Structure 1
Amino acid sequence: MTNTIELEIAIKRAGFTKRELAKKLGLSEMGLYKKINNITEFKASEISTLCEVLSIENKDEIFFAQKVEFNSTKNQQAACREVS
């Protein structure tokens, strides 16, 4: 299960838009959205590409989280704003 908050933070830190990332992964923007939000799963090759492009060092914490809880989308948005 993907830790959406941590992945969103990594995307912000790297300065990429989701549109740019989707293109690098060969996905549509909706396809990337579904993967980020645990509707579908990332492929191993996509995880590898994201780790390289976003300089992710803690891939297990982001892409292989055992349990991810969100109280609301406000918490997710607040976490992303803190990085900006």
Structure 2
Amino acid sequence: MTGLKERIERSGITFTWIAKKLGITREGLYNKLQGKSEFKASEIGVLIDVLQLTPSEQQRYFFTNECE
């Protein structure tokens, strides 16, 4: 999830709010951001909408094998 955590921080939206929007706990969100578990397709869709991610950001954050 290269840079996704930083992208969320720059957005001004809290991790707690995003976790609630995704239907997971804040700890669950952190686990996903750290690569301990994977985002579901529905969660990716929510993040794309909430953060207004560009196609290149979507590719970088969700569809690469790189980890932070």
- Indicate whether the TM-score tops 0.5: yes
Contact 1:11 1:54 in 2 (8 A): yes
Deviation at 1:51, TM superposition (A): 0.8
Q: Structure 2 unaligned runs (5+)?
A: none
Partner residue of 1:31 out of 28, 31, 35: 28
Partner residue of 2:10 out of 5, 9, 13: 13
2: CA distance between counterparts of 1:30 and 1:43?
16
Same amino acid, percent of matched pairs: 39
Consecutive aligned runs of 4 or more in structure 1 exceeding 4 Å deviation: none
After superposition, the CA RMSD in angstroms is 1.2
The higher radius of gyration belongs to 1
1: CA distance between counterparts of 2:66 and 2:25?
27
Calculate the TM-score normalised by the size of structure 2: 0.86
Calculate the TM-score normalised by the size of structure 1: 0.71
Q: Structure 1 unaligned runs (5+)?
A: 71-84
